[in-house]
Structure 1
């Protein structure tokens, strides 16, 4: 029998491809530590290098994945099996530029996730991204980490997990093409208006609408200010409108803004005559121009009319015309027992 006196492993700059089903791979990572890689993409540090230490459990995203679900689902290859105990959490989540997203952690019920720190690893890419900073989140109930409208977003997350039952900690993601509707999807947005605004009893769907009382000598507009957008992304803005007496200039408009709130290009409009006591839909589909970071949308009359010529507004939608968002390869979660 021959004995292997030593095994030399070259240090790799990146995680190798996943091994075939039923196999594990050993490799020396760029951190100088020995790693075990499963066919599902779970990367576990099995040595602490020269200093020794606790075993770190790591899940690394091996390939880009498109997420089309509008409810939170597990991201493939981003689950880590755990046993009861306290863990340090570290991770980087990279998102593509296909749409708006929500991120969450999910794991054994009643286990607690305490966020210690979150930071943008890519400067200037964080507008519109918010975190729930509650210090004791039940991640078994899929506590939301954040939602974003940004392109090339890279998010650094760290915290602590107190796991109370065996299970799997999963990164979850969802895609929401509705950036705004009048029931308040992805709020907060502030409504601003001229004239008077109140709840209307004439409605296109549901049980009520927004009723705009017009100015008699000047235009009357209603708008939520301002919606986060991605340059190069296609969007559709649509509104159902009902005028008591009709009006020649009724419709909607979009003005694109940059990160400094300066207008880009020319405002896009869909304004024309509307018949009395008839629900009419106005729609604009446009691609956000280069440099765009936000959109200001307007709804209303482009001139004065009788104060009793109320404009009812319903089913307001501002939608990203995408099929999915992308979770990028190289995203990872790491858990270290404490």
Structure 2
């Protein structure tokens, strides 16, 4: 039920012990874990070898400023650039969105990882954390782009994760460093920020990542700690049947729930299937917190399942005759 962070480019002895723990569902990698394509493939293999069961290996490879792996990988523009010309050329914009998704997912899968937590489903209204990570300011445009992005990821055999539910793009504050409150009503959110999520779910998104934002007119708890948001709105109203993932519990806005143990339990009790513990110094107290909790192996199996059929099928797919040369002979291609 925990997706943990590790410190460097190789596993240390303590981290190998963590991977033996039944509650560790996977590892999320960052720029601190990357030196080269070969190294990250070796690190991914070491993570899998250290665990007695299948584990997820994930990254945030959105493009733009949130691209953890760079040297030897394609230079991916931020999502906003893909939709800049949407009004004049919607078809061309959506084709570029789909290619971006396929290329990103293909390169990450080729390195042995299961998924990148993408795409961003937030509406672009100048949030300090989101910025040009969002496709557009018009939720209808974001909705169309999301459907194309999910399709591109699926073509490459990668699960798609919509983030950050129910919408982080309209508030100003960055939840990495501050508490964020959105005082709009549920009706206002349904008409705006929830529109892209509904489209992404209809397109077959496999996972949804929650925001640490508080929407006090809906629930006094941050969305990721809110059973109302997860069970009533996301699952019952929008019909989402996939995996619900928390945002990183090391972010400042998550501190509202209390200490590490309280944060972990608040997310799991609200309905999150997986909890991100990205900071290595928080892993030990998080593992202590979940002793005795029932495991949710179905969540991991659901995300591993799509990836398992994806990469081999991609190389054999006649629609992508250049896949091998694209990914192995010409790294650094720019969309």
State TM-score, norm by structure 2: 0.26
Q: Of Structure 1 and Structure 2, which has the larger fraction of its residues in helix? A: 2
Query: Relative contact order: is structure 1 or structure 2 higher (C-alpha 8 Å, sep ≥ 6)?
Result: 1
Q: Of Structure 1 and Structure 2, which has the larger fraction of its residues in strand? A: 1
State TM-score, norm by structure 1: 0.26
